Amino acid sequence: MIDEQRAREIAAALLGRPADDPQQPWSLREFAQGWLIDTTAHLTEEYAGAAAYVVEKNTGRVMCFPSFVPTPRILRDYDAIVDRGYPEDIGD
């Protein structure tokens, strides 16, 4: 099982930038099975269509979900929709 600090390290490696990047900041949203990497909080409401990434708590695996999988569904029903995503290679 990984902790939030390790999830931050994994997310930073995946995105290639720190959470406090001045141009493209990001944050983690914790839920039961992991952390959703929120890369759009700094953007306007007009932004849509981005893939969603999750760092899983049990494994540290990063799952990528296409834009047609709604973020609320990821947070609420992760176990039911995990098969709609695919593992992201982060080069570990």
pLDDT, tens digit only, all 92 positions of the chain: 999 999 999 999 999 999 999 988 999 999 999 999 998 755 544 455 678 999 999 999 999 999 889 889 999 999 999 999 999 987 75
Amino acid identity of residue 81, one-letter, is I
Are 43 and 25 within 8 A, CB to CB? no
Report the sign of the C-alpha dihedral through residues 46, 65, 91, 27, in that order.
positive
pTM equals: 0.87
